[in-house]
Structure 1
Amino acid sequence: MTPILRVARPTDNLPALLKFYCDGLGLQQLASFSNHNEFDGVMLGHPRAPYHLEFTRHARHVAGRAPTTDNLLVFYLPDADEWQMAVERMQAAGFAPVVSYNPYWDQQGRTFEDPDGYRVVLQQAAWSW
Structure 2
Amino acid sequence: MVGPTAAVRIARPSRDLAAAERFYVDGLGLDVLYRSTTEAAGEHDLLMLGWRQASWHLELVGGAGSTEPSPTPEDLLVIYLSGPVDEELIGRLEQAGGTRVPQSAYWDRWGVTVRDPDGYRLVLSTRSWSNAE
TM-score (normalizing by structure 1): 0.85
Runs in 1 of length 4+ with deviation above 4 angstroms? none
**Match for residue 64 of structure 1?**
69
| 1:114 maps to 2:116 | yes
Report the count of equivalent residues.
Answer: 125
Distance 1:61 1:91 in 2: 26
CA RMSD, aligned part only?
A: 2.0
**Match for residue 54 of structure 1?**
59
> Which residue among 33, 37, 45 is the counterpart of 2:36?
33
> Which residue among 7, 12, 26 is the counterpart of 1:4?
7
CA contact (8 A) 1:87 1:122 kept: no
Secondary structure, in 3 states, of the residue corresponding to 2:69? Answer: coil
CA contact (8 A) 2:107 2:123 kept: yes
**Match for residue 22 of structure 2?**
19
Which amino acid in 2 is paired with 1:8? A
**Match for residue 125 of structure 2?**
123
Which amino acid in 1 is paired with 2:76? L
Secondary structure, in 3 states, of the residue corresponding to 1:105? Answer: helix
Which amino acid in 1 is paired with 2:69? G
Distance 1:42 1:94 in 2: 17
How far 1:92 moved relative to its partner?
4.5
Point out the more displaced range, 29-38 or 16-25. 29-38
Secondary structure, in 3 states, of the residue corresponding to 1:17? Answer: helix
How far 1:94 moved relative to its partner?
4.9
* Cα deviation digits, residues 1-27 of structure 1 (max 9, x gap): 821100011121111111111111111
Distance 2:13 2:77 in 1: 15
How far 1:90 moved relative to its partner?
2.0
How far 1:65 moved relative to its partner?
2.9
**Match for residue 73 of structure 1?**
77
**Match for residue 105 of structure 1?**
107
- Runs of 5+ consecutive residues of structure 1 not aligned to the other structure: none
Q: Relative to 1, partners in 2 of residues 1:16 and 1:93: Cα closer, same or farther, differing over 3 Å?
A: closer
